[in-house]
A and B are shown apart, each in its own frame.
Chain A
Amino acid sequence: MSDLTIAVPRGALFAGTLDLLDGLGLDTAEVRANDRKLIFPGAGIVTMRPSDVPTYVEAGAADLGITGKDVLMEQFEREVYELLDLRFGGCRMVLATVAGPDRASEALRRLGVMRVATKYPRIAADWLESTGRQGEIVEVNGSVELAPLTGLVEAIVDLTATGTTLRENGLVIREEIATSTARLIANPVAHKLKAAEIDGVLEALRAG
């Protein structure tokens, strides 16, 4: 364990991840106490946005990482091993529109194309393609809920845990695309060169 560097996602998966690492015997007290510091050499922890975790792990800057399946689906070409479903941080990737008459369906029927705002352009594009619909993907970086309310698009593809944010903005879920939970990923070279340490972590996580 002591020889491994682990990429830990800040944000929604942060607390669950640290609880998990406590269970492995890592000392996460400093990580919990300090939300500006990024790197904790004593515990072998580096912290970052969830969507950056595959980048660091693929390059070998971290041996292991924890991130959401949604991130891995969006960055499907990353060369990392997906080792374990950690079964926390559950949420759904959904297609949502403004409540009331379905404007997305109307646009599709009358204009031939539905416009979809998302932070997950590949997942959204794949979903439309696999369901035989033409779409125009509009990539946004924050507050996706704003896009259909302002008329930028007719629908959004986004991640939701409880649906509260969608509801508060007058949006309703029309389709569920996928479910997502936290996953443990590994760098392919570390997976070979640090096999015993990584298998030790896997075993402890499976048992816990």
Chain B
Amino acid sequence: MIHPTPSGTRDVLPDEMRELRAITERLRSVFEAAGYGEVYTPALEYESELRPAGVSPAYRLFDAHGDVLVLRSDMTVPIARVAATRYGGVALPLRFAYFAHAYRGVRAHRGQAREFLQAGIELIGSPAPEGTAEALGTLCGALDAVGLEGYRVGLGDAGLYPALLDGLGVAPGARGPLLRELVARDFVGVEREIGRLGLDAAAAALLLRVPQTRGGPEALEVAGEAVDGMRAVHALLDPGVAERVIFDLGLLRDLDYYTGAVFDVYDPALGVPIGGGGRYDDLLGRFGRPLPAVGFALNVERLHIALMGEERGAGAEEERIPGAAEGRGAGTGE
């Protein structure tokens, strides 16, 4: 008899579970040693209570009392709720770690996960750049501890492009089509929409170049003062962390509560990011307790795939293309 589970969900059996546990135990030790206490929050929350976060959850249900419940789509919003409601008079900053499943909508036949395990931290009450640098240090410490070797961390700034548009006098009402092309990662469309703004050649070239600029510290020169925040974070990083960073002036995260630094974790053994995070300095305020905050989440299943990909890659270096396709193909995408 075959009794399927909903698409995008799956059973985890002992062989895989042991490997996942080995990863999460190592992550937990790093988080714990850095002062991040583990928390767990309900998978189900009241929709009305999470609404201030502005995130639209994929799964809603009614309970027996007619209340609308949602399945959490990440842990950042529930932890923001916890920090705002349960840690009133406590000294800052607050440090939380979590290992929990989150739930997202999926498209058919794409191998995307509806339910996925996230491991992450939230650092609440510590502003940029110190808090950002601490989070990046913890992130790299955690990835080093699980033995991932080739990873890099893309570092961008969610406020950079809006600030550039402000500086060039592009009215907020005129930005929609351009920002849509940016989110769609379509630089042909970006160029077309910049052309329609009627800017001078230098301004248009800057708007086109910035989101395609990524690399070492020299990448920051393209955007001048607009990236002083990224320079300040970079200056605080340990050398071992700094050398992992790729400055990415075009980095966009799909959650809209990010306010400043944003990051993505990449590994050559996987075609999709392993995790990411950033600053969300406005989110706690929406729950009535304005505090600057930063955090990241790793997708544990993707981390597992990347670790296995690196392991295989080390064994089959000469077979370049088959090795690459094998190691990076399987996706437990979000």
Residue positions of A touching B, CB distance < 8 A = 5, 39, 41, 44, 46, 56, 58-62, 76-77, 79-85, 183, 187-193, 195-196
Contacts and interface: CB of A to CB of B under 8 A. Distances in A.
Nearest to A86: B188
Dominant SS at the B interface?
A: mixed
Interface of B: 107, 152, 154, 184-189, 214-215, 246, 248, 264, 266-268, 270-273, 319-322, 324-325, 328-329, 331
Nearest to A76: B184
Contacts of A58: 271-272
A196 to B, nearest CB: 7
Contacts of A82: 184-189
Given A187-B271, A190-B271, 15 more contacts: A5-B320, A5-B325, A39-B322, A41-B321, A44-B320, A60-B272, A60-B324, A61-B324, A62-B325, A77-B107, A82-B184, A83-B187, A189-B271, A189-B272, A191-B214
Nearest to B321: A41
16 contacts: A41-B320, A44-B320, A44-B321, A58-B271, A59-B329, A60-B271, A62-B325, A79-B185, A82-B186, A82-B188, A85-B188, A187-B271, A188-B272, A189-B271, A192-B248, A195-B214
A143 to B, nearest CB: 24
B266 A192 contact: yes
A189 B329 contact: no
Contact of B185 (A80, A84, A196): A80
A191 B107 CA distance: 24
Contact of B272 (A5, A79, A193): A79
A61 B214 contact: no
Contact of A195 (B246, B273, B319): B246
Contacts of B324: 5, 60-61
Given A44-B321, A59-B329, A192 B189 contact: no
A149 to B, nearest CB: 31
